[in-house]
């Protein structure tokens, strides 16, 4: 039976500047994706001070909003309001079609999946990754779905979730060497492994809704992300891999689960750099402080029963 959950999400990004900023131009990846399992019924962006905002579609099919603000200001608040319905998907337990690895090998010569087969800056193979894979005993053997599930579970078991242990520009060497990171790092390692095996893999940014604490945290490090403990509402990152039969399948290695109706997808790309919630250029401003708050409410059939949780990202 398909389960559909409606979420109301408020994502607030606040910048405070040490000096007056004269102009800024920013690209915002804050609108949830729309596909057969996810429908956006309402979305709007508000800024203070008010700026010019228009939408575009990027190379990966994400909706981005371009913000231009041409006035002096010492702070900027960007608030994105979303209402989105997410339908459940049964965990893919049957595995891939026969001769799946043969089909996957055939994709190496295809331009259709090239963006998610080629290695990217934050998810590069390395001697450290090879050593980790060998020590962990994970290999492209048996059913590809089962093999990737083992990768997800291994990362969950071997790594420790430590907020602030990495930055938005950290490569996978840091978490491989220290064993510490956040969901962004878990995702980058799994992407690098999958692509090394010839499996197209993409980075997914979004939100994870949990009303009770989970074994694994769900915060993403970086602007527009969240460094928070498991449970509650946080910005999050996970992985989608393309498999013969199941198609694009979501793996959440931070929590060792498949992506389900608790996961709200916002943007996909090769790695974090393609999907950062906010990025741009600023003239003036001096030192910058950043604060990100995410409020996410699962709306029940009876609105009187609704509850919401708040996560606040520490200033950076």
> Please, what are the domains in the chain?
4-86+277-312 (2.60.40.2250), 92-275 (3.10.620.30)
| % the chain with pLDDT above 90 | 76
Answer yes or no: is pLDDT of 73 > 90: yes
Q: Which segments of the chain does DSSP mark as H helices, in order?
A: 100-107, 114-117, 127-136, 144-158, 172-178, 183-196, 272-275
| Average pLDDT of span 119-146 | 95
DSSP state of 236: E
| Average pLDDT of span 73-101 | 87
- Higher per-residue confidence, 233 vs 128: 128
Calculate ∠ Cα 210-272-77, nearest 5°.
Answer: 70
Pick from 129, 37, 125: which is nearest to 89 by CA? 37
Label residue 91 by pLDDT band (50, 70, 90): low
pTM score: 0.87
Answer yes or no: is pLDDT of 190 > 90: yes
Answer yes or no: is pLDDT of 313 > 60: no
Torsion sign (Cα): 112, 201, 54, 87: positive
Q: What is the pLDDT of residues 33-59, one digit of tens each?
A: 999 999 999 999 999 999 999 999 999
Q: How far is Cα 205 from Cα 255, in angstroms, rounded to an integer?
A: 15
| Average pLDDT of span 179-202 | 97
Who contacts 81 (Cβ-Cβ below 8 Å, separation ≥6)? Answer: 8, 9, 10, 42, 43, 44, 45, 46
Q: How far is Cα 19 from Cα 281, in angstroms, rounded to an integer?
A: 15
DSSP state of 179: S
What pLDDT does residue 160 have? Answer: 97
Q: What is the pLDDT of residues 248-298, one digit of tens each?
A: 999 999 999 999 999 999 999 999 999 999 999 988 888 999 999 999 999
* Percent helix, strand and coil across the chain, each to the nearest 5: 20, 45, 35
Q: Supply 73's token pair.
A: 């200001």
First to last CA, the chain: 44
């Amino acid at each position: 039976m398909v389960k559909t959950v409606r979420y109301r999400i408020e994502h607030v990004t606040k910048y405070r500047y040490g000096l007056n900023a004269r102009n800024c131009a920013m690209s915002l990846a804050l609108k949830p994706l729309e596909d057969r399992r996810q429908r956006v019924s309402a979305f709007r962006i508000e800024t203070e001070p008010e700026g010019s905002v228009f939408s575009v579609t990027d190379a990966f099919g994400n909706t981005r909003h371009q913000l231009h603000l041409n006035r002096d200001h010492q702070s900027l608040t960007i608030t994105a309001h979303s209402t989105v319905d997410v339908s459940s998907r049964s965990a893919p337990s049957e595995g891939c079609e026969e001769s799946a690895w043969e089909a996957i090998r055939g994709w190496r010569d295809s331009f259709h999946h090239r963006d998610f087969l080629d290695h990217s800056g934050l998810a590069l193979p390395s001697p450290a990754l090879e050593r980790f894979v060998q020590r962990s005993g994970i290999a492209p053997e048996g059913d590809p779905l089962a093999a990737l599930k083992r990768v997800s579970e291994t990362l969950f078991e071997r790594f420790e979730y430590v907020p602030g242990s990495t930055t938005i520009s950290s490569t996978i060497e840091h978490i491989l060497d220290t064993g510490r990171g956040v969901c962004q790092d878990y995702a980058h390692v799994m992407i690098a492994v999958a692509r090394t095996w010839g499996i197209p893999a993409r980075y997914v940014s979004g939100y994870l809704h949990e009303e009770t604490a989970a074994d694994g945290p769900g915060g993403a490090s970086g602007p527009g992300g969240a460094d928070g403990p498991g449970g509650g509402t946080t910005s999050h990152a996970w992985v989608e891999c393309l498999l013969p039969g199941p198609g694009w399948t979501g793996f959440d290695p931070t929590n060792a689960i498949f992506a389900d109706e608790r996961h709200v997808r916002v943007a996909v790309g090769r790695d974090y750099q393609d999907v950062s919630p906010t990025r741009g250029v600023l003239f003036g401003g001096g030192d910058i402080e950043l604060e990100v708050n995410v409020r996410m409410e699962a709306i029940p059939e009876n609105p009187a029963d609704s509850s919401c949780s708040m996560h606040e990202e520490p200033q950076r």
